Amino acid sequence: MKLSEKIGYGFGDMSSSMFWKLFSYFLPFFYSNVFGLSLADAGVLMLVTRIWDAVSDPMMGILADRTKTRWGKYRPYLLFFAIPFAVGGILLFTTPENGKTIWAYVTYIFMMTVYTGINVPYGSLLNVMTADSDEKSVLSSYRMFFAYGGSFIALFAWEPLCNMFDKTKVAVEGASGLAAISTSPEAWQKAMIVIATCCFVLFVLCFLLTKEHVHSESTVSVGKDLGLLVRNKPWWLLIGAALASNLFNTVRGTTTAYFFADYIQQLVALDGKWAFLVSAGIFLSIGEISNMVGVVLAVPMSKHLGKKSTYMISMAALVGLSIAFFFLPATPGGYWSMLVFQVIISTFTGVISPLVWSMYADVADYSELKDGTASTGLIFSSASMAQKFGGAFGGAAVMWMLAAFGYDTTAGAVQTETAITGLRILMSWVPAAVAALSILVVWFYPLTKKKMEGVQVELAAKRAETAESAGA
């Protein structure tokens, strides 16, 4: 496969991830501290809208599996949804004068529906670009490397963009002497216009640079497709693992903006040229760079250990690191330790991400061999569904737990000791518990490296036989 195709495929998730990370990490803060929703209302909004979003994923997968165009089954959606994708992001970060709650629900549902329309076909594209399992891991690594690169750019630039577009220049000063992120609605909207434009260009490039090389076809009814899927044991286990990994990332990421605004920036002041490091954007950006390192490590680790073992080892490391994070003090020395922990934690989450997508490709191949029909779009839509359920429950849980700990969203409010402890727990013990649960789930996952080698051989022979029969 050409390098240009691998890079082009990476551009797609670079675009998606720029939006996804901003939605996951800064949208809750936007709703509660900029837009003006209460924590409870923001939590319900994120749960309800993303549950609809997750449910719509299988519908999109079924539709994509049955699409036939001169560009293929999945690629056309990258082009057709590129503009709605960009516009949806801008509307999501727009604050109206009246009817805020209705606006929030309508724009969130619209954005997530469009996200489904472009992201499910994009994910499914992986399985028709190559038939080789190891090459799918390589493609997944390109995908996640560019995804984390996009996340880094978006997260690193977000606070400076918001502050740059803040005409009133009233950003609250933290103890470090740095301006905290602007709470101007207009500034947030203009910052999103910049990011959305980049996302549009990236999806168009993804469409232009990629090709569908593998022909697969769904040969059964929608009802039978769904019936076969729910009887697929590896699929259920992988859904559980993907849900847990997304919960881990969402809980930590969503909490970070609050953690910095009300804990770290109030207590930690670094001297001189290092002062800029005390911000949520920098903390998250450092994590994205580390994720990219993890993606690079994922291919050799999974080739040597197998995808299942690599996943479990990485999650076990995340359990221990997350628990240890709780005990790091909010002092200059403690903060340097937090940055080190962020690097290590994010490296392991970077290893996990491409594994999950590559494992979905394995499940799709296993399903095609076992059931005699290709349901690639439907299976990959479930990956997106798990991602969104993880985001929905993770984001809502953070909002509700903050409310339960007595977090005060009033501008300039001094948080209670209980609220601060809650922030620390959300950055440590809660993610650790989720990571431990994922290890238990993957323990029972049956598609080992040896098993998939046999599946690939049988499936290649079956496809060749089908092609020969069709030619005859």
Domain boundaries, the chain: 3-209+220-464
Return the CA Rg of the chain: 22
Cα–chain-centroid distance for residue 155? 13
Q: Give residue 307's identity as a one-letter amino acid code.
A: K
Report residue 103 as tokens: 């606006």
**pLDDT given for residue 221 in this prediction:** 61
Those residues whose C-beta lies under 8 Å from the C-beta of residue 149, and which sit 6 or more positions away, are 14, 288, 292
CA separation for the pair 294, 351 (Å, rounded): 4
**CATH superfamily placement of domain 3-209+220-464:** MFS general substrate transporter like domains (1.20.1250.20)
**pLDDT given for residue 222 in this prediction:** 67
How far from 325 is each of 121, 255, 275, 329, CA to CA, in Å? 38, 14, 21, 9
Residue appearing with tokens 């036939």: 68
Please give the full DSSP string across 181-250, using - where no structure is assigned: PP--HHHHHHHHHHHHHHHHHHHHHHHHH----S-----S-HHHHHHHHHT-HHHHHHHHHHHHHHHHHH
Length of the chain: 472
- Burial label for 33, CB within 10 Å (0-12, 13-18, 19+), is buried
> Could you give the dihedral angle defined by the CA atoms of residues 63, 64, 66 and 67, in that order, rounded to the nearest 10 degrees?
110
Question: Is the distance from CB of 435 to CB of 314 less than 8 angstroms?
Answer: no
CA separation for the pair 372, 218 (Å, rounded): 9
Q: Give, for 145, the enclosing helix (H) or strand (E).
A: helix 133-164
Mind listing the pLDDT tens digit of every residue in the chain (472 residues)?
789 999 999 999 999 999 988 987 888 889 888 898 888 888 788 777 767 766 787 788 888 888 888 888 899 999 999 999 999 999 999 999 889 999 999 999 999 899 989 988 998 898 889 877 678 878 888 988 898 889 889 988 998 899 899 877 544 444 334 446 788 899 999 999 999 999 999 999 999 999 988 876 655 566 777 777 778 888 889 888 888 888 899 899 889 989 998 899 888 888 777 887 888 888 989 998 998 899 889 889 988 888 999 999 999 999 999 999 999 999 999 999 999 999 999 999 999 988 887 888 888 888 888 877 766 667 777 666 766 677 677 878 888 899 999 998 777 788 999 999 999 999 999 999 999 999 999 999 998 888 888 888 888 888 777 767 666 5
pTM score? 0.72
Report residue 317 as tokens: 């490391």
Question: Is the distance from CB of 40 to CB of 399 less than 8 angstroms?
Answer: yes
Question: Is the distance from CB of 37 to CB of 31 less than 8 angstroms?
Answer: yes
